[in-house]
Each structure stands twice: as structure tokens, then as C-alpha cells.
Structure 1
Amino acid sequence: MRVKICGITNIEDALLAINAGADALGFVFYPESPRYIAPENAKAVIAALPPFVEKVALFVNETPDVIRSVCLSTGCTLAQIHFDVQDDFFSDVHFPTLRVIRAQKKEDILTYTDEYRLIDAYCEAYGGSGKRLNIEWFEGIDCSKIILAGGLDPENVASLKPYGFYGVDVSSGVEASYGKKDHKLVETFIQKAKV
């Protein structure tokens, strides 16, 4: 499974995650999040990263123009749209995007099956809540285009392998505190996801 470490706020955590084998890093451009990073700070972190790393910008309640502008100015490579929008919103961004489905019931995970999407547990706040989805919802379905998020940690990530998820996305499950990663947890999570 591919691994995204989300909620990156500093270069030390970013490099640790990459050196441990992460495929992608997530930067939260949502000011109300405790993991928020200002675009200029994200730009400095991204500038120090090695090549071939996906840099994912997470947005909530922003316009296509703002999303595209922030991605281009920071060096992010993918925009994660973490709020409900109409389908034409994605083409209006004019930048690679990833849809997020905040699932409340099993039927929610069966939408947009023809595209790669991130599926997270629904909560009033947007992401990073540590709330886990009912994993039984994914039994018997094609998970090859699903990136699973929500309530993941080093203790449970290995149990997801039989489902064939494209990837996993973790934030609070590998934190020492909001916006600061626990380096041992990051390393263990990636190792268990990849082995």
C-alpha cells in the first residue's frame, strides 16, 4: 500500500517520513485545523524535499482559483478537496485533484468507483479526528482505487492489507501532538503498511 503522512508542519517531520518510505506528504491549508501550515511555510518545506515525492495540499471551503494558486505557489503536486462540491468544481481547479468522500454509511463508499478517491470517516471537523470507518463496509468490493483514512495507526494498518487498498492516509495516528509527528510511530506505521 502507498502511504501518505498528512498534517506535515515542519521540515524535520517531512524528511523523516520520506526517509522512512512515505510516498506522499499532506499539507493542511485549512486555517481552523490544528495542523494548519501557512503557504509560505509549506513552500519552504517542499523546497527542501527530494524528487519523486507527492506533495498533497488539503483544502476546505476554498474556491478553485485559490486552490490552484496555492498549489502552484507552494510546489504542491495534488489538491485534496475535503469538502462537498459539484463535479464541475474539479475541472475548474485546472490542477490535479483528489476527491474526498466523508462516508457516513456503506453506500457512500460505492460512489465514484471509476476514479481514485480518499475515503474518510465523516465528522463535523474536516479530517484528523482519528475516527475510524467500519472496515467491514469494504469486504467484497474493489478497493484498488481507494485511499483509506480515519483512525489508522501502527497497530491496525497491517490488518488492511487483505482489502487491496491503493493507499492509506494517516495524521493523528502518528502524532506526538497536533502538527508534530512521533518519529517512531511514523516509521512503524510505514513499515507495517509496506511489508
Structure 2
Amino acid sequence: MSLLVKICGLSTRETLDVALDAGADMVGFVFFPPSPRHISLEAGRDLGRQVKRRALKVALTVDADDATLDNIMDALSPDIFQLHGSESVARLRDIKQKFGRPVMKAVPVATSADLAVLSGYAAVADRILFDARAPKDATRPGGLGAPFDWHLLENLDLKLPYMVSGGLHADNVAEALRVTRAGGVDVSSGVESAPGVKDPEMIKAFIRAARATQDASQELSVR
């Protein structure tokens, strides 16, 4: 199975084009006002049109209500909802039924105890995204540029596809993949020159580094 690379928090036509041209599999758009990567519905509509099926469109929300999700559906028509709040298993099921889209549930990780929720979410979610747990005083649950201890996922027995995020950048993505054996990686602040400001060269470097890891593992497997 090929590695999925997601560039999240895109907010301009220029950087979206860079991510798409560099081969991102997923492009993420943040609909959460406290985030420096938050975009308006109109911006989402414009950027969504630009994707033109070149990648999967991911709408990141945090404990959003039905009206908010309805507006996002109308503007972006996302391929996947990324639920980054404290959404319950029942809420995941409700969103899937109401909006007819796959859901990727973000699970914040700091200790092995944080993995206890997996069995519940795995019964409903289509994909899990492991992210670093935010500090208690943080104003948002992700995009903080901090990694978690990837070794917590070393013996993970999860039948569901999963991705890793949190503090990833071009220089550490290979190690993250080696330790976690994840099927995908998700980056946001690790390809920024300032909070919310994506850097085209950093985007390209990250995707190159992730793909090089995949190429190397495939080469080993055929030897």
C-alpha cells in the first residue's frame, strides 16, 4: 500500500498548487477560528474548486455542530472530515450517517493510556490520526509543532488505517515512519515559515523526504 502524504492548513492558491504539484495525496483545510490556519467558507469554496480531484480534500473541524458541517459540505464538498476535538464515538457515527462522508478521528497522544480510546473509535472511524496531546493551556488541539513519543505506537495492533502527525518535518519524517509503521503522515506547522504561513520549499522538501522513505522500503522488500 502506498504512503499517504497530507499537507494540512493550506490557505492560499499558491501553496495549494505547490502541494498538489509536489504530489500530496490529501490537502487539509482548517475550519476552526482559533487556529492561525482557519479559512472562511468562501475561501474553502475557492480552494476546493482548485483541487480538481488531484488530491483528497480534508475538512478539519473541532467539535463542530451540524450547521457548521452543513456549511462546510456546501462550500468545500470535502472527501473526508477530520474530527480533531473531543467528539464521541456516537458523534462520529452521527456525522457519517448525516453527511455521508468518511471520518478520520484525531487521537491526542502523550502516554500509552491515551490509546485506550482506540477500540471505540476504530469501530466507527475510517482512519485514525495520532497527534501530540496539546498542553492544558493550549487554545487549539493541534498544529502546535510538537511531536509525541512515536515508540508508543511500536506494538500497535490496529486493523484500521492510521496516520501520524505532530511536530513532523522533512528531517524527522523518515524516523517517524520507521518507528510507527504508519500508512500516512500529516504535516502543518512543519512546512511553515511562521504560524499559518506555508513555505513552498518546505512543502516540497517534506513530500520528497516522505516519498524517499517509501521508495527505500520498497527497494528493501524486493531484494
TM-score normalised by structure 2 residue count? 0.81
Q: How do 1:40-79 residues align onto structure 2 when only pairs under 5 Å count?
A: 40-79=42-81
Distance 1:110 1:149 in 2: 19
Deviation, 1:52, is 4.1
Superposed CA deviations along residues 96-153 of structure 1, whole A, max 9, x for unmatched, are: 2211111231232354254521111111322110011101112222467221010000
Higher RCO by CA contacts (8 Å cutoff, separation 6 or greater): 1
1:151 aligns with 2:167: yes
Tell me what 2:114 maps to.
Answer: 108
Aligned-partner SS, 2:29: strand
Structure-1 residue corresponding to 2:132:
121
TM-score by structure 1 length? 0.92
Aligned pair 1:182/2:199, yes or no?
yes
> 8 Å contact 1:13–1:180 — kept in the other structure?
no
- Confirm or deny that 1:193 pairs with 2:195: no
Aligned: 1:172 with 2:178: no
Alpha-carbon contact 1:58-1:80 (below 8 Å) kept: yes
Residues 147 and 188 from structure 1, CA distance in 2 versus in 1: closer, same or farther, beyond 3 angstroms? same
Structure 1 stretches (4+) deviating beyond 3 angstroms? none
Over aligned residue pairs, what C-alpha RMSD do you find? 1.7
Q: Describe the SS at the equivalent of 1:112.
A: helix
Per mean C-alpha deviation after superposition, the further-off stretch among 128-137 and 57-66 is 57-66
Q: Which amino acid aligns with 1:173?
A: G
Whichever of the two has the greater Rg, that structure is: 2
1:67-104 deviation per Cα after TM superposition (whole angstroms, max 9, x unaligned): 13312322222111111122111122223221111123
Residue from 16, 25, 36 that aligns with 2:38? 36
Question: In 2, distance between residues paired with 1:158 and 1:55?
Answer: 24
**Could you tell me whether the CA contact under 8 Å between 1:27 and 1:57 is conserved in 2?**
yes
Distance 1:193 1:142 in 2: 23
Q: 2:41, 2:71 within 8 Å by CA — same for their partners in 1?
A: no
Q: How many equivalent residue pairs? A: 195
Q: Which runs of 5+ in 1 are unaligned?
A: none
| Cα distance in 2 between the residues matched to 1:86 and 1:164 | 26
Write the distance in 2 (CA, Å) between the matches of 1:50 and 1:73: 14
Identity %: 31
Structure showing the higher helix proportion among its residues: 2
Distance of 1:48 and 1:32 partners within structure 2? 25
1:86 aligns with 2:92: no
